């Protein structure tokens, strides 16, 4: 286990845990439910999201074998069937508005076992969740070719006109009935929305009108694959042709290993509505050139060009040195769609070299770090506010709309709050525009503590600002509250004077600070003052309105101060 863990780490993967089905079930549902589950050891391996070629056992083992230099990287071949004998997939005009793209291929004379079959289904599921974006971009269908006859037609029809027996069901349903049937299905209901509201549903037929599948929902039962299947027809339909090609390439390269002629795939012809034809899978190999010094410099090593080529070859990127060692030519196989730029090649060289083997060096440039002035001021103020007897709180930067608007007696539109587009909970709908609600919620959660409660927080608030490049701006605010049987306005006022004393702002009108009576929706009438410093309003202090106090589930009077400290940096 330790050796395997080490190997995974060297290859850029992480062995997450060593477990068994029994362990997993007992962890999730308790020991009672785990009886009879398998004790077989399972490895949970974390694979980077861009490495689609490692998502099944076949690809992972192949990758590790090449990495260990036990095997050479196989060469994937596309076999063109004799003229007129190849499978054809005809796309009709109707698909344009639902799922316009399709690609196809055939795995000939394949031998399945229970393990291979499970892995084949499992890889499709993983690709669906990952690169296919839960089937929104691509949906995969795999069929037993011997149960159907080509050419195949990919079209779109009204739901009422589609009728077939779906996978693992005993009777025929129309497409509309299927939607109702799967609405309660824990697995399939997540995909219904992709076509539910479209006037036409995508559907694939063979030449005798047998339904292969209704992508992206379900395959037909007629063409389902079993352990005895010898020839597999694979179709991928989608809204993104590039992703569909990648998915098809990954599927056929992983499982062509089990064909009679290993690593060979029979091509299929796809005919577009405009009459153009295209042969899939593309299985495109391409060559890139990278200078050895570029790789060495980026990683911080000094390897010879031939060593670098060897390192890259171990990462499934077959490489050799060209032009007197000035260039490394790298062949990128169809399994590595993640190699987009030279940097991806450099990264693989670094993984093969071993991150732990890169010597740590002190950077050649001398720089002296300095604290950001705003953070320095914040740290200094935190110490002195604590010395004044206040306790620091750290509250969430996100809050609910009620917290910053209704509960403070304001309208949400007046707050200029930044809204979260898809909040997971009602507690986190907007970014805070004031620190006060967070502190009041903290007091509400600590009502059992002995009075008085004196809290402060110095953190950022966020407001919309169309003039910035991101459309919002942060301000560093200081907020303090005093909660006791009497409002304690004088204590908060005293704290303000202390802060100003520390900032060396004198209490006068010209170049210092002053208080000016004002009204605030959150404050008691006549008990609220605006703080003017350096010629601008920096915040308010006062006694909170009884309505605000009850809305935050508090029972005692409370006075508060909130100012923007950025003008003092």
Q: Does the residue 364 lie in any domain?
A: no
DSSP string, 387-442: HTTPEE----SEE-HHHHTGGGT--GGGGTPPBPSS-SSTT-SEE-S-SHHHHHHH
Give the residue carrying structure tokens 């006694």: 543
User: How far, in Å, CA of 158 to CA of 199, rounded?
Assistant: 6
- Burial code (b: 16+ CB inside 10 Å, e: under 16) for 196-230 equals eeeebbbbbbbeeebbbbbbbbbbbbbbebeeebe
Residues 93 and 10 in one domain: no
- Do the Cβ atoms of 439 and 479 come closer than 8 Å? yes
Residues 34 and 110 in one domain: no
| The predicted structure's pLDDT at residue 38 | 80
CATH of the domain at 16: 3.30.56.10
Residues 507 and 548 in one domain: yes
User: How far, in Å, CA of 526 to CA of 530, rounded?
Assistant: 12
Q: Does the residue 146 lie in any domain?
A: yes
Residues 132 and 266 in one domain: yes
Residues 322 and 417 in one domain: no
| The predicted structure's pLDDT at residue 39 | 82
Q: Does the residue 177 lie in any domain?
A: no
CATH of the domain at 127: 3.50.40.10
Residues 300 and 411 in one domain: no
Q: Does the residue 6 lie in any domain?
A: yes
Residues 242 and 218 in one domain: yes
Q: Does the residue 231 lie in any domain?
A: yes
DSSP string, 222-289: TT---TT---EEEEEEES-HHHHHHHHHHHHHHHGGGBSSTTEEEEEEEE-TTS-EEEE-----EEEE
Q: Does the residue 501 lie in any domain?
A: yes
Residues 348 and 479 in one domain: no
Residue ranges making up the domain that contains 230? 77-163+190-280
Nearest to 437 by CA among 482, 388, 400, 474: 400
Residues 457 and 350 in one domain: no
Residues 124 and 243 in one domain: yes
| The predicted structure's pLDDT at residue 36 | 75
Residues 275 and 126 in one domain: yes
Global confidence as pTM: 0.68
Q: Does the residue 174 lie in any domain?
A: no
DSSP string, 25-52: HHHHH-GGGGTT----EEEEEE--TT-G
- Do the Cβ atoms of 45 and 8 come closer than 8 Å? yes
**Domain count of the fold of the chain:** 4
- Do the Cβ atoms of 561 and 547 come closer than 8 Å? no
Q: Does the residue 503 lie in any domain?
A: yes
- Do the Cβ atoms of 24 and 44 come closer than 8 Å? no
CATH of the domain at 487: 3.30.930.10
User: How far, in Å, CA of 190 to CA of 531, rounded?
Assistant: 54
User: How far, in Å, CA of 367 to CA of 283, rounded?
Assistant: 49
Residues 223 and 109 in one domain: yes
Q: Please report, in tens digits, the pLDDT of each residue of the chain (569 residues total).
A: 899 999 999 998 999 888 888 887 777 777 777 777 788 888 999 998 889 999 999 999 999 999 999 999 999 999 999 888 899 999 999 999 899 999 999 999 999 999 999 999 999 999 999 999 999 999 999 999 999 997 999 999 999 999 999 998 999 999 999 999 999 988 898 999 999 889 999 999 999 999 999 999 999 999 999 999 999 999 999 999 999 999 999 999 999 999 999 999 999 999 999 999 999 999 999 999 999 999 999 999 999 999 999 999 999 999 999 988 889 999 999 999 999 999 999 999 999 999 989 998 887 888 888 889 999 999 999 999 999 999 999 999 999 988 888 898 888 888 889 999 888 888 888 999 999 999 999 999 998 899 899 999 999 999 999 999 999 999 999 999 999 999 889 999 999 999 999 998 888 877 889 999 998 889 999 999 999 998 889 999 999 999 999 999 999 999 999 999 999 88
């Amino acid at each position: 286990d330790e050796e395997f863990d080490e190997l995974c780490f060297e290859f850029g993967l992480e062995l997450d845990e060593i477990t068994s089905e029994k362990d997993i079930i007992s962890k999730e549902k308790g020991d009672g439910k785990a009886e009879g589950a398998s004790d077989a050891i399972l490895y949970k391996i974390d694979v980077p999201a861009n490495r689609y070629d490692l998502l099944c056992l076949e690809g992972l083992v192949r990758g590790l074998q090449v990495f260990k230099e036990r095997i050479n990287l196989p060469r994937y071949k596309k076999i063109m069937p004799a003229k007129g004998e190849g499978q054809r997939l005809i796309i009709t005009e109707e698909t344009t508005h639902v799922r316009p793209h399709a690609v196809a291929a055939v795995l000939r004379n394949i031998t399945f076992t229970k393990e291979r079959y499970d892995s084949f289904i499992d890889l499709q599921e993983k690709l669906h969740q990952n690169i296919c974006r839960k089937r929104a971009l691509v949906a995969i269908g795999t069929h037993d070719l011997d149960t159907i006859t080509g050419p195949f037609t990919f079209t779109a029809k009204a739901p009422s006109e589609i009728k077939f027996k779906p996978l693992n069901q005993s009777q025929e349903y129309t497409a509309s009935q299927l939607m109702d049937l799967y609405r309660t299905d824990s697995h399939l209901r997540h995909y219904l929305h992709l076509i539910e509201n479209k006037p036409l549903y995508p559907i694939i037929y063979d030449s005798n009108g047998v339904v292969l599948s209704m992508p992206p929902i379900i395959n037909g039962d007629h063409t389902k694959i079993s352990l005895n299947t010898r020839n597999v027809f694979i179709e991928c339909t989608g809204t993104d042709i590039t992703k569909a090609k990648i998915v098809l390439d990954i599927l056929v390269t992983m499982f062509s290993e089990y064909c009679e002629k290993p690593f060979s795939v029979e091509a299929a012809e796809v005919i577009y509505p405009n009459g153009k034809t295209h042969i899939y899978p593309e299985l495109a190999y391409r060559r890139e050139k990278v200078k050895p010094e570029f790789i060495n410099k980026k990683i911080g090593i000094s390897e010879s060009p031939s060593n670098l080529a060897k390192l890259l070859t171990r990462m499934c990127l077959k490489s050799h040195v060209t032009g007197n060692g000035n260039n490394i030519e790298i062949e990128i196989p169809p399994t590595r769609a993640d190699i987009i730029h030279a940097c991806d090649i450099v990264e693989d060289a670094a993984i093969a070299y071993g991150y732990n083997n890169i010597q740590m060096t002190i950077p050649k440039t001398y720089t002296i770090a300095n604290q950001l002035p705003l953070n320095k001021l914040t740290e200094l103020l935190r110490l002195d506010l604590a010395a004044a007897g206040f306790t620091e709180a750290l509250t969430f930067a996100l809050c609910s709309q009620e917290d910053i608007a209704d509960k403070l007696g304001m309208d949400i539109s007046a707050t200029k709050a930044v809204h979260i587009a898809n909040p997971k909970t009602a507690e986190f709908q907007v970014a805070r525009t004031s620190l006060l609600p967070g502190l009041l919620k903290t007091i509400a959660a600590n009502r059992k503590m002995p009075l008085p409660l004196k809290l402060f927080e110095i953190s950022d608030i966020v407001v919309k600002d169309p003039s910035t490049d991101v459309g919002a701006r942060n301000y560093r605010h200081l907020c303090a509250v005093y909660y006791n049987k009497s409002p304690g306005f004088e204590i908060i006022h005293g704290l303000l004077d202390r802060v100003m004393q520390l900032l060396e702002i004198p209490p006068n009108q010209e170049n210092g600070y002053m208080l000016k009576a004002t009204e605030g929706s959150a404050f008691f009438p006549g008990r609220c003052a605006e703080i003017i410093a350096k010629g601008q309003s920096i915040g308010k202090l006062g006694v909170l309105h009884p309505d605000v106090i009850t809305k935050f589930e508090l029972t005692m009077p409370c006075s508060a101060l909130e100012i923007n400290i950025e003008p003092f940096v």
